[in-house]
Amino acid sequence: MEWLYCIAYFFGGMFFTNAIPHLVSGLMGRPFQSPFAKPPGRGLSSATVNVLWGFANLLIGYCLVFHVGNFNLRALPDAIALGLGILGMSLICAQIFGAINGGNSPKSLSQD
């Protein structure tokens, strides 16, 4: 059953990571992509919607990490599962939001 806990920690890391861009954008008062926009995931949602969506992600991540099994950051399997979830969602967000916001194309530092 330990591997089931690691799966929960992996997805918990993904939800924790997904909360970051939504909360930051919402707290800054900026619109940002969310599943509730039109088209979903590509259009912009209000800052309030992003704060609510980011908070929901935090709650889900918290439940998955701290209420499934007995999460211990000092236990290597637990830490690896959480870390891989964070890394995985970070890469997914970089690709999705980078494609929408122009962050996937390298730009020259000099404007010659």
Residue-by-residue pLDDT tens, the chain, 112 positions: 689 999 999 999 999 999 999 999 999 999 999 999 998 888 899 999 999 999 999 999 999 999 999 999 999 999 999 999 999 999 999 998 888 877 776 664 454 4
In a domain, 45, yes or no: yes
Check the CA dihedral 65-86-34-52 and report its sign.
positive
In a domain, 35, yes or no: yes
Q: Which domain holds residue 12?
A: 2-99
> Quick one: which of 30, 10, 9, 8 has its CA closest to 21?
30
In a domain, 112, yes or no: no
- Which residues contact residue 25 at a Cβ distance below 8 angstroms, ignoring those fewer than 6 apart? 31, 32, 47, 50
| Bridge pairing between strands 44-45 and 32-33 | antiparallel
In a domain, 9, yes or no: yes
Q: Identify the pLDDT of residue 65.
A: 97
In a domain, 110, yes or no: no
Evaluate whether 6 touches 77 at the Cβ level (below 8 Å): yes
Neighbours of 38 (CB within 10 A): 8
In a domain, 107, yes or no: no
Specify the DSSP element, H or E, that contains 65. Answer: helix 47-66
In a domain, 71, yes or no: yes
In a domain, 8, yes or no: yes
Task: Name the domain count of the chain.
Answer: 1
Evaluate whether 32 touches 108 at the Cβ level (below 8 Å): no
Of the chain, the end-to-end C-alpha distance in Å amounts to 59
